[in-house]
Structure formats: C-alpha cells, structure tokens
Amino acid sequence: MQKFTSHAGRNIGYSHIVHRGCILHKHYLTIKTAAKATLEINKSCFIAHVARTETEKQALDFLVGIRKQHHDATHNCFACIAGSRDEFQKSDDDGEPVGTAGKPIWEVIRKSQLCDTTIVVTRYFGGIKLGSGGLIRAYGKSASEGIRAAGIVERVLHSRIGIDIAYNLLGLLENILITQGYTITDKRFTDLVRLYVLVESGQEFRLQKLATDITAGAACFSEQGIAYAENDYVE
C-alpha cells in the first residue's frame, strides 16, 4: 500500500466566501499551465511534472499517470496542495530517504503560496549518491524549475451579473463599462439586450449603481453565477 505524508494546513491570508454551500477562495495563486522541467544533477536526471489539480482525486490521478509514463524511473516523488481550504496536502518520497524528496517539493509549493498544484519529480539515478542534503536541494530545485516553467496566475472570484436594458442604451452602457474596467463576457438579444458582466466578488453593488446611474434607473439585474478571472502573477 502506498504511504503518503499529510501536512498541516496553512494560512496564506486569502479570504473565502460560501457559495451555495461550498467554501471558495476569493482569490488565490496557482500554476498557469501544465509544464515540465528537466535538470541533470550529478549525472542523475530529474524531471519535474507540474499540473493544476483542484481535488485530491485529480492530484492522485496525475501522480498515477506520471508513474505509468515513467515506470522505469528510479523514483517518482510527489507533493500536492489542493482544495478550497488547502485541505488536501500530501507528499511521498517513493523510496528516497524519508523527508528528502516529497517534503522539499511540498515546501516549494507552500513557499510559493500556491494552491491546486501537484508536482511529481521523476528521478533516473545516474550512479552518484547525493546524500540527504543533496537530495533535498535537488528535489527542491526541480520543483522550483517546474513552477517557473508553468508560470503563476492569480485567480480572483467574480460574480457574473446580467444587465437587461433597452437597445438604445446599449452603446452608452457598454462603452462606459469597458472604460471602467469591467469585462463583458457575452450579450443576448431578445426584446431587450442582456449584457453579461464580470464583477469582483463583493463589488456587485458598485456595478449596479453605475449601471443604474447611466441608464437613469432603466436597467434590471440578475445573478448569473460565478467565475474566476485569471491574471499573470509577478512577485
């Protein structure tokens, strides 16, 4: 049976909201895209595989996939932090000395303030032993290079608001909303026009007031769900 290490939760200062019974981050950091990075350290080949995984199952499925792909590797070590409250935190040394592989990978994810992230570092042994300190540095460096290759984004929770207006108000409202930095994701045309607008969670009233003022009270509003907006993150 595979043994994993679970790690204590952390508080990175991100607030949460409850939406339809689910706890969600209002904003958090995660990787931008799946990626991999390869390093050669003292003749051993280290390959860091990075993926965005929002659940424990996704993280473990990713691990299984990498282990199948690299079934001939000496080790496939991994760590993950996932879940809306970072509740899924695991690591595995996969035969390396205890604490020299999975934990360093996990530490890199944690120190990078990432959520919904899994990293598997594959090692092909090159014949030179690295020692405990060397392994910790090698796995940590591999994880860092994997994150560098993947990139980091900040995900910010937004409400999707429907705004119903008459056709003659469309140009004016649309132009002002775009000028004010709002994102219009779609438009629907019936007897009225409905704009679908993203607004950061907690700022819905500000959008409604603006649209009400622009249309002299002729706009009608409806909730149309939630969505995350992503922006590249630069430290």
Where along the chain do its domains lie? 30-150, 154-232
Q: 62, 73, 143: which is closest to 102 by C-alpha?
A: 143
- Other Cβ atoms within 10 Å of 167 Cβ, number: 10
Tens of pLDDT, residues 101-157: 999 999 999 999 999 999 999 999 999 999 999 999 999 999 999 999 999 999 999
CATH superfamily of 30-150: Impact, N-terminal domain (3.30.230.30)
User: What is 154-232's CATH topology?
Assistant: Alpha-Beta Plaits (3.30.70)
Taking the whole predicted model, whether its pTM rises above 0.85 is answered as no
Q: Provide the pLDDT for residue 5.
A: 54
More confident: 1 or 195: 195
Tens of pLDDT, residues 12-60: 345 655 444 456 678 899 999 999 999 999 999 999 999 999 999 999 9
Q: Provide the pLDDT for residue 20.
A: 47
Please tell me the distance from the alpha carbon of residue 67 to that of residue 26, in angstroms, as a whole number: 34
